[in-house]
Structure 1
Amino acid sequence: MIKIENLSRTFYTEELETTALNKVNLQINEKEFVAIMGPSGCGKSTLLNVLGLVDNSAEGQYYFEGQDLQKLSTSKKTEFRRDNIGFIFQNFNLIDELNVFENIELPLRYQKRDKQFRDQAVNNVLERMGIAHRKKHNVSQLSGGQQQRVAVARALVTNPKLILADEPTGNLDSKNGDDVMQMLEQLNKEGATIIMVTHSPTDAQKAHRIINLFDGKIVDEPIKV
């Protein structure tokens, strides 16, 4: 499904040059659940941002189902991300001014779906996440676990081919963290391809494969995080 070749990303400031990714080569199969691990600053989140087309400044090749995404224009990359990729963030990234329903509905608005389609899709995913009774609540009224369920629902509502999860249990207690991991495992069993960045060895063991990063490179042995 995904193939990247010689992927590099360097950040520049006035006095410093930092290589976050250094000629990374990687393949990820459809319906695979992959965990990315490594110490802080090793390039994990940068890699996720490149895969999610949030960071468009990387060098190298990025193929998604055979299509070279690096050759797309910025607007085409935005459309591809909107239609094919769902994101789950450690800090939830919900919009406080919108209620639960409206937060989940937002990606469908970006897709310019009609109201009937949006209502059905959002209500279906609300039921699936067990938060239908909270759909009119402001997100600030929810617990951390409930907010992450909303974030997962928002990632799922467009039925994306790829789900990218950046430390999805990082701000949760153990019970809610376990619940989120069970949700991700179930989504994977249902056919979703998932790439997850995590510091948690326990969470990583739920994946099919663990990729270890160190100093912007994939290494064979895990590095203590």
Structure 2
Amino acid sequence: MIKIENVSKSFRTEEVETFALRGVSLDVNKGEFVAIMGPSGCGKSTLLNILGLLDNPSDGKYILDGTDVSSLKEKQRTGLRKGKIGFVFQNFNLIDELTVEENVELPLRYLNVSASERKTRVKEVLERMGISHRAKHFPQQLSGGQQQRAAIARAVIARPELILADEPTGNLDSKNGQEVMDLLTELNREGTTIVMVTHSRHDAAYTNRVINLFDGKIVDNMDL
């Protein structure tokens, strides 16, 4: 599903070049649930942004589901991102001016799905996430757990093959966090590939494999 080879990412400020990633190589098989762990500033979110086609590596190759995305034009990358990838963020990233169902519907609008199909799929996914009774509410009227459920609904509504999750339980209490991890695990069991950045060993225990990052490099197991 994912293959990155010798990927580096650097940022230059005046005459100073700072490396966020240094020669990272990684394979993620279709259907895996992988956690990326490491201390703050080690490059976890940078790596996730590259995997999600939100950023470009400074060097190296990225192959997504057999397609070398390193040489794609931005329009092609955007189309691939919308069609194959769902995102779940720590801060939910819901649009305050839209209701829950309107937030969840957005990816289908971008894909030009018909109105009738959008309505059916939104209803189904909200029921699955247990928040159909909140469909007409705005994000600020929801609890943190409900907001994250809405964010997951939005991430899966287009039926992506890959979900990228950045600290999905970081703003939740333990009960809501466990429910979110249960939802992600269920989606993974149905065949969705998931790559998750987390600081939580508890959350990482839900996954098939843990990748440790330190100073922009993949390292062997360590005390994080």
Scaled to the shorter chain, the TM-score interval is over 0.9
Q: Equivalent residue for 2:157?
A: 157
Any conservation in 2 of the 1:88–1:163 contact (CA below 8 Å)?
Answer: yes
Q: Is the partner of 1:22 in helix, strand or coil?
A: strand
1:15 Cα deviation (Å)? 4.8
* AA aligned opposite 1:147: Q
**Does residue 217 of structure 1 match 2:220?**
no
Q: Equivalent residue for 2:23?
A: 23
Q: Equivalent residue for 1:116?
A: 116
Q: Equivalent residue for 2:91?
A: 91
Q: Equivalent residue for 2:68?
A: 68
Any conservation in 2 of the 1:212–1:218 contact (CA below 8 Å)?
Answer: yes
Q: Which aligned segments of 4 or more residues in structure 1 are displaced greater than 2 angstroms?
A: none
Q: Is the partner of 2:45 in helix, strand or coil?
A: helix
Q: Equivalent residue for 1:45?
A: 45
1:14 Cα deviation (Å)? 2.2
Any conservation in 2 of the 1:2–1:62 contact (CA below 8 Å)?
Answer: yes
CA distance in 2 between counterparts of 1:54 and 1:193 reads 18
Any conservation in 2 of the 1:214–1:223 contact (CA below 8 Å)?
Answer: no
* AA aligned opposite 2:40: S
**Does residue 56 of structure 1 match 2:69?**
no
CA distance in 1 between counterparts of 2:97 and 2:222 reads 41
Report Cα offsets for 1:62-106 as digits up to 9, x if no partner.
Answer: 111221011110110001000000000000000000000000000
Identity across matched positions, percent: 62
1:222 Cα deviation (Å)? 2.4
Report the RMSD for the aligned CA atoms in angstroms. Answer: 0.9
Q: Is the partner of 1:49 in helix, strand or coil?
A: helix
Any conservation in 2 of the 1:39–1:223 contact (CA below 8 Å)?
Answer: no
1:223 Cα deviation (Å)? 3.9
Q: Is the partner of 1:35 in helix, strand or coil?
A: strand
Q: Is the partner of 1:20 in helix, strand or coil?
A: strand
* AA aligned opposite 2:130: G
**Does residue 191 of structure 1 match 2:187?**
no
TM-score (norm 2): 0.98
Q: Is the partner of 1:11 in helix, strand or coil?
A: strand
CA distance in 2 between counterparts of 1:222 and 1:65 reads 30
Report Cα offsets for 1:129-172 as digits up to 9, x if no partner.
Answer: 01001000011100000000000000000000100000000000
